[in-house]
Copies of this chain bind each other. A is one copy, B any other.
Amino acid sequence: MAHTVKQIAAALGAEAFGAVDLLIEGAAEPAMAGPTQIALAMDPKYGEGLAKGHARAAILWAGADWQELGLDAAIFVPRPRYAMSGLTTLLDAGPDIATGIHPSAIIDPSAHIGANAAIGPLVVIGRDVTIGDNARIAAHTVISEATVIGDDAMILQGVKIGARVQIGDRFIAQPGAVIGSDGFSFVTPEKSGVENVRETLGDQKDAKAQSWTRIHSLGTVEIANDVEIGANTAIDRGTIRATKIGRGTKLDNLVHIGHNIQIGEDCLICGQVGMAGSSTIGNRVVMAGQCGVNDNIFVGDDVIAGGATKIFTNAPAGRVLLGYPAMKMETHVEAYKGLRRLSRLFRDVADLKKAVSKPEQND
C-alpha cells in the first residue's frame, strides 16, 4: 500500500519539502533505493549512498540540502531513530493471515473470540479461552484452556500458550515462544548439597545421595498490556502465585523466565537473558543479551546491565552493571584493565621482593 511523502511526514510529525505528493511504496538504504522507495539517510555519511541509489525522496539529516542531493522531495526529522518507529509502522504490511477462522483451526466451542479475528491454519484454541478483538493468530499456535488474551493480539507461528494465562492488549509473540511452561522446581526429602553450598558458599557438607521430587506449578502467568515476547522464548508459570510481566516490557528471542519472576514495566530484556526463579525486576530495567539473574534477588528500577552481566545479588535502583559477577560498569572497566596487565604486576612485585630483601642480605 502506497503513501505520499506528505502522509509519511504527517505520520512522523515531521516536515516535508518538494514533491510531497510523490507515492512511496517502501523504504530502503540510500544506495539500494528504487524510485518508489524512500531513502533513509539521517546521517551525512549516507550522502554518498544517495548518489548511487535511485530514490526520489529521502528522510534526511538536519541541514542537508535536498535539492543539491538531486532529490525531488525530502523529510526532516528531529530524532531519526524515533522516526524509524513511525515509518516502519506505516510501511509494515504484517503477516499474511486471512480474516476469519481457517477451516483447519480446532477451536473449542466454549472459546470466545472477539470481532475481526484472523486465525490461521491448524491453530488450536482450548476450552473457555477468551480472545479480544482484532486478533491475528498465525498457523500452528496453541492457546490452552481458560487463557484470556486482550484486544489487538498478534501471535505468530507455533506459539504455545499454557492454561489459565492472563494477557493484556496489544500482545505480540514471535514464533515458537512458550508461555506457561512448568517451573523448574525440585526438592530432595532431606537437605541437599546445594542447600548446604548456598549456606556455606562452597561446602556441600555430608549431604547424602537423593533423588529429586517435583514441585508442580499451580500458578499461572500474567502479562500486562503492550508486551512483546521473542522467538523461542520460554516463560514458566508460578508455583502458587503468578509469574508477571509488566506493562510495556519487551522480551527478545530465547529468553528464559523462571517461575515466580516479577518483571516491572517498560523493561527491555534482550536475547538469551535468563532469570532464575522468584526474583523481582523493577521498572525500566534494561538487560543486554545473555545477562543472567540469580534466583530470589531484587533488581531495582532503571538498572542497566551490559552484555552477559551475571547478577548474583540485589542491584540498587539506577545502577549500571557489567561483568561476571556483576560490578558497577566503571569498576568493571577499571578491574579488567588491571587484569590484562596482571602478569606485569606479578613481575614488578617479584622484582620488589628481590630489591627489598637484598639490602637485608647485605647487612
Query: A residues engaging B (CB < 8 A)?
Result: 26-29, 32, 40, 79, 81-82, 84-85, 88-89, 91-92, 95-96, 102, 104, 106, 120-122, 124, 126-127, 138-140, 142, 144-145, 156-158, 160, 162-163, 172, 174-176, 178, 181-182, 184-190, 193-194, 197, 201-204, 209-218, 226, 228, 230-234, 236, 239-241, 248, 250, 252-254, 256, 258, 265-266, 268, 270-272, 274, 276, 283-284, 286, 288-290, 292, 294, 302, 304, 307-308, 310, 312, 318, 320, 323-325, 327-331, 333-343, 345-346, 348-349, 352-353, 355-356
Evaluate contact between A343 and B338: CB separation under 8 angstroms. yes
- A104 contacts across to B, CB distance below 8 A: 106
- Interface of chain A: mostly helix, strand, loop or mixed: loop
Could you list 6 A-B pairs, sorted by A, with CB under 8 Å? A26-B218, A96-B145, A231-B236, A232-B233, A254-B272, A345-B345
Evaluate contact between B328 and A310: CB separation under 8 angstroms. no
Evaluate contact between A85 and B304: CB separation under 8 angstroms. no
- A138 contacts across to B, CB distance below 8 A: 142
Query: A50 to chain B: closest CB distance in Å?
Result: 14
CA of A106 to CA of B121, assembled, Å: 8
- A288 contacts across to B, CB distance below 8 A: 276
Evaluate contact between A95 and B276: CB separation under 8 angstroms. no
- A120 contacts across to B, CB distance below 8 A: 124
For A80, give the chain B residue with the smallest CB separation.
B187
Checking B139, B202, B248, B256 against A212 with a beta-carbon cut-off of 8 angstroms, the contacting residue is: B248
CA of A158 to CA of B331, assembled, Å: 45
User: Given contacts A187-B82, A214-B85, A343-B335, are A328 and B209 in contact (CB under 8 A)?
Assistant: no
Evaluate contact between B343 and A334: CB separation under 8 angstroms. yes
For A179, give the chain B residue with the smallest CB separation.
B175
- A172 contacts across to B, CB distance below 8 A: 182
Identical copies in the complex? 3
Query: A263 to chain B: closest CB distance in Å?
Result: 14
- A270 contacts across to B, CB distance below 8 A: 184, 276
| Known A28-B240, A88-B216, A272-B274; 15 more pairs at CB < 8 Å | A82-B213, A84-B187, A85-B213, A88-B218, A89-B214, A106-B139, A142-B157, A142-B158, A174-B178, A184-B252, A202-B320, A254-B272, A308-B310, A334-B342, A339-B342
For A256, give the chain B residue with the smallest CB separation.
B271
Evaluate contact between A144 and B308: CB separation under 8 angstroms. no
Evaluate contact between A345 and B349: CB separation under 8 angstroms. yes
CA of A271 to CA of B162, assembled, Å: 19
Evaluate contact between B122 and A106: CB separation under 8 angstroms. yes
Q: Which 9 A-B pairs have the closest CB atoms?
A: A88-B216, A338-B342, A181-B231, A231-B234, A92-B216, A202-B329, A160-B175, A184-B252, A256-B271
Evaluate contact between A178 and B232: CB separation under 8 angstroms. yes
- A26 contacts across to B, CB distance below 8 A: 218
